[in-house]
Amino acid sequence: MKRRDFIQLTGLSAGAMMMPFTSFGDSVDVSRLLDPLLDSAQKKQLADVALNTTKGLGATYTDVRIGRYLNQFVVTREDKVQNIVNTESYGMGIRVIANGGWGFAAIDKLDNDSIAKAAELAVAIAKENSRLLSEPVRLAHSLGDDDVAHHITSAKTRSVCLK
């Protein structure tokens, strides 16, 4: 490698390191990092849009995840910090089972129309995937909020050794 090529590549690399990491999310001010974007009632309302849409399209299972991801990048050179970038990404993932197949869609724009379109896409993907399956997806039973686990013991409390 010639000296000129080395200097050009080094300069490009140093310049790239000084740029903000916008491909990993939107740059966000440090003072906003701990502010909640939505409260629980707003999240439930957005999730209800997805749940109602998928149910209306024939999905037998739907889960909705609303996530906010905060990242901090510290760029150093030798023993000095060159740059600190805080990024944030926010969005919703919709996972469904329809006609016995899995479907998934994700969005980063949280309005009712975008959520409904993503829910429709997730159901469409699930229905297409179901055509390729030899047998439908079946979820294992697990205890939910309404289910109660009963534990019956046959031992008398006085006969149990505590040592």
pTM, rounded to two decimals? 0.65
Distance CA 51, CA 94 (A): 9
pLDDT at 127: 96
Residues contacting 147, CB < 8 A, separation 6+: none
Give the pLDDT of residue 152: 47
- Give the closest residue to 65 by CA, choosing from 93, 107, 36: 93
Looking up tokens 């600190």, which residue turns up? Answer: 84
Question: In 3D, which of 92, 100, 95 has the Cα closest to residue 134?
Answer: 100
Site of tokens 């829910």: 119
Structure confidence by residue, pLDDT tens digits, 78-126: 888 988 888 888 899 999 999 999 999 999 999 999 999 999 999 999 9
| β-strand pairing of 59-77 with 80-98 | antiparallel
Q: What is the model's pLDDT at position 61? A: 93
Backbone φ and ψ of 101, nearest 5°: -120, 155
Please indicate whether residue 69 or residue 50 has the higher confidence score (pLDDT): 50
Would you place residue 143 in the very low, low, confident or very high pLDDT band (cuts 50, 70, 90)? low
8-state DSSP, 145: S
pLDDT in tens, 11-68: 666 665 555 544 556 666 666 666 777 888 899 999 999 999 999 999 999 999 998 8
State the pLDDT at residue 19: 58
